[in-house]
Amino acid sequence: MGSATWAPRAASKACAAVAPALTRAAPAGASVARAGAGHDAVARETALVLLLQMKRSARLWGALRLVVGRFALRRVPGLAFFKVLGSGHEGGFGLRPSADRLGLFALFADEAAADRFVAASPVMQAWAAHARECAWLKLACCSARGAWAGRALVVRGEPPADGPIAVLTRASIRPRSAFAFWRLSPAAEHALIDTPGCRLATGLGEAPLLRQATFSVWRDAASVEAYARHGPHLAAARAAYQHGWFAESLFARFVVLDQGGRWKGRDLG
């Protein structure tokens, strides 16, 4: 998966310690306004997704990050928003939770703050030291609709004409709609994994059953559209919209600025 190179390649060291083989807010449904003139500081907002599989001996430590991890993250310079996330079994999308996989979605004030977190943050170093696999992706939002806990994303530019694109979907599912959601969701998620052009896909979540997310990386925008506009995903999306399954949702796409580490046996660096 191609990506731009960036100066602090020491950033890979935090994940490299895990395995020698490593190469180094708006109302729900509202459109997020693009950053323009007069919004320079906001326009530099940079997202980071961190994916981890904990060592067997560190599973309890990892599980505790879901409870206490936010306290250390609140002290990270330049970190404006974050969510510590669990995952489905083996990083998948089902109801069975994973005992050893975690994720982090974070928004930084700018790329430099994100770079410093990956390269030298004690939080990042501690997470990586407890992990069997650790992968990170630095992202710039290119389209977004909705919000996460009332927090909207800032769109920094246009979707790329070619090259990799990352997609994040998340939703707070209304309790009365949970059964209907989970009845249609598995077919859509399995179709995602089997879709040509999907290079990485993992299920994430804030809470079992009701606060769910999916993160994926694609060869290009055309591959994303081929999945989103056809088959089980389209049926599930239409049903969610028509029946008001979500109390809040976010659908966002990102340019992949850089990446590193390993996920499910694959080097991303």
pLDDT tens readout for residues 138-188: 999 999 999 999 999 999 988 887 889 999 999 999 999 888 888 877 666
Residue 208 has pLDDT above 50, yes or no: yes
* pLDDT level of residue 91 (50, 70, 90 thresholds): confident
Tell whether the model's pLDDT for residue 10 goes beyond 50: no
Interatomic CA distance for residues 245 and 54, integer angstroms: 33
Evaluate if residue 77 carries a pLDDT over 80.
yes
Say if residues 137 and 201 touch (Cβ distance below 8 Å).
no
Of 54-68, 131-145, 158-172, 217-231, least confident by mean pLDDT is 217-231
Kindly tell me if the per-residue pLDDT of 41 is higher than 70: no
Rg (CA), the chain: 17
Residues in contact with 218: Cβ distance below 8 Å, sequence separation at least 6, in sequence order: 164, 165, 166, 167, 197, 198, 199, 224, 227
Query: Percent of the chain, pLDDT > 90?
Result: 56
pLDDT, the chain, mean:
83
Residue with token string 């879709």: 195
